[in-house]
Structure 1
């Protein structure tokens, strides 16, 4: 049975730029999935991929961690990719080894291969990070940089 969501709480049309802006596009360069792996290969950087949905309250809460200065600094050493679970469902499902939940924070090789060992450490929802503080995201990004992918 579908979950009812009050439509009046969400704008009927939100541009891709407006959605991405909520994840700190002033301090972080976000890429689409189509361009992320190509750029990562050229620059020799791992990819941080965030799969999110516009209707997800946890995704909305997660936005604030991307304004943390340490996250901004680390973002310069990785390629950040933002995927909309609903608009890019094929990509979301391709990177859903333990479910198509959101938000999912994943580290990929420059070729776009999921690095399964770089996860939240949970036994379930391995790619879900706590959304209320930047510490777990910072830890994940630092581990991605320490391991030669």
Structure 2
């Protein structure tokens, strides 16, 4: 009896561990979509520097009503997903928000999206041109995000900077 109890317990433990790993993978998108290749800011900056790809930084909070309304629109957008191939995607939630002033060019509101070059410089000229001029980096829909992503890819690509990969 003891041997079979150990086998049952071991199987249950293994399934619980696997379920835990699956839920961790499912949480990588933090509500913004699981199909993206998400990174932490630290990882993203290193990858961007190595590859020359620009970085797209999304700062949001779990408790924010505007963030909750925005996330499903972002997650469902096939256009944003396709455009994301041109960027190192960084998704910061709650306490992961970077503290440096450069990440709050016109305030600390949320959600906000910033674009950085491969040297880690924030480009304040890349913002939601269809949004509120007081909150330039606030996005309320997928269309405005895609529009700025296109401009950022063009402005920050290695070719536009006269660099070769």
TM-score class, shorter: 0.7 to 0.9
1:125 corresponds to:
135
Deviation at 1:47, TM superposition (A): 0.7
- 1:36 corresponding residue in structure 2: 44
> Where do residues 49-60 of structure 1 align in structure 2 (5 Å cutoff)?
49-60=57-68
Contact kept? 2:28, 2:38, Cα under 8 Å:
no
Match of 2:95 in 1: 87
In terms of fraction of residues, the more helix-rich structure is 2
Question: Are 1:19 and 1:54, in contact at CA under 8 Å, matched by a contact in 2?
Answer: no
Q: How many residues align?
A: 132
Q: 4+ residue stretches of structure 1 with deviation over 4 A?
A: none
| Uncovered stretches (5+) of structure 2, i.e. residues with no partner | 1-23
RMSD: 2.2
Structure 1: which 5+ runs fail to align?
1-14
1:29-81 per-position Cα deviation (integer Å, ceiling 9, x unaligned):
11101111110111111111000011011111111223211111111110111
Asked whether the equivalents of residues 48 and 54 of structure 2 are also in contact (C-alpha less than 8 Å), the reply is yes
Asked if 1:68 is matched to 2:77, the reply is yes
Q: Which structure's CA Rg is the greater one?
A: 2
Q: TM-score, normalised by structure 2?
A: 0.72
CA offsets 1:67-117 (integer angstroms, 9 cap, x no match): 211111111110111112x41354365411211110001111112211010
